Amino acid sequence: MKIRSNVSEFILLGLTQNHDLQIFCFGMFLIMFTAILLGNLLIIVTIKSSPRLNSPMYFFLGCLSFVDICYSTVTAPKLIADLLVEKKTIPYFGCIAQLFFIHLLGGTEIFVLTAMAYDRYIAICKPLLYTAIMNKCVCSWMVVVSWLGGFIHSIVQTLLTTHLPFCGPNVIDHYFCDVHPLLKLACTDTYIVGLIVIANSGMISLISFLVLTISYISILVMLRSHSSEGRLKALSTCASHIAVVILYFGPCIFIYLRPSTTFSQDKSVALFYTIITPMLNPLIYTLRNEEVKNAMRKLWSKRISVGK
């Protein structure tokens, strides 16, 4: 593939130019990234080691935790390291690789969240058919399709970007390489490419959000016919999912469902889906889920007894 670019590296401006604020952010984001790794690894280990969590809902939750670990790893280490250096650079191909993996993992997360919503819809609205519909083979294929969908979404974004000429300047007003900041630097008309980006990233986010909203509204309507105990348990589970959907899709729709322009708020908004949501997911899914908390207690008790 022929790359028509005179730029060999890009300079990232990062989150802030204030030195004292950079030191504060370094400590804060280092703690947050550690929490992402430990929290999501704990979810994965708990689900794998507990027979009681051998259900489609927890299978998807484990997949979501794995995607969150990978997703934050694409941006957070670079962000943290750049807070300690004056000149924040990234090679051209490193920038393209970061762009590819951000959209691969971001798209996969969208589709996994959609699969989780479908799982809850079948469990609550069609309980008698649940085990037949959501068998292990179907769940596995849903995850495979989620990764495939993320790959197709990402490869479109990446190919569009690599075919753009970059003649300089090479300063990206962001803390990672994304489509809109790169389109702003291209030395050619990017109007058509910008429309394709909206149709790709923006519409995927919006349509998935609408599908999720409709599915959860259907679930809430269906819950009226359940017993109060069953209603409370289902509401607790759905509330966790809805919280994650709002935290993740709101910023994505703000960033991608608009023309290829950049705003000063974009960097702060992007923190929600690259760092904050992956950090909060383990808390959201465990604090409102007694089964996961009980499984964690048993796992901790086993570790202590083995240590003795």
Q: With pLDDT > 70 as the criterion, what percentage of the chain qualifies? A: 92
pLDDT band, residue 301 (cuts 50/70/90): confident
- The highest-level CATH class for domain 9-307 is mainly alpha
Q: Kindly list the domain boundaries of the chain, sorted by start residue.
A: 9-307
Is 204 within 8 Å of 249 (Cβ atoms)? Answer: no
Residue in 206, 199, 113, 122 with CA at minimum distance from that of residue 157: 199
* Burial degree of 89 (CB within 10 A; 0-12, 13-18, 19+): middle
Residue in 24, 58, 127, 110 with CA at minimum distance from that of residue 296: 58
Residue in 273, 258, 262, 76 with CA at minimum distance from that of residue 186: 262
pLDDT at 99 exceeding the cut of 60: yes
**Which range among 57-61, 202-206, 228-232, 241-245 shows the weakest confidence by mean pLDDT?**
228-232
Q: In what order do the strands lie in the sheet with 89-91?
A: 89-91, 9-12, 171-172
pLDDT in tens, 19-53: 889 999 999 999 999 999 999 999 999 898 888 88
Q: Which amino acid type is present at position 69?
A: I
pLDDT band, residue 17 (cuts 50/70/90): confident
How far apart CA 157 and CA 171 sit, in angstroms, is 20
pLDDT in tens, 186-210: 888 888 888 888 888 888 888 888 8
Is 250 within 8 Å of 9 (Cβ atoms)? Answer: no
pLDDT band, residue 226 (cuts 50/70/90): low
Q: What is the pTM of this model?
A: 0.89
pLDDT value at residue 227: 67
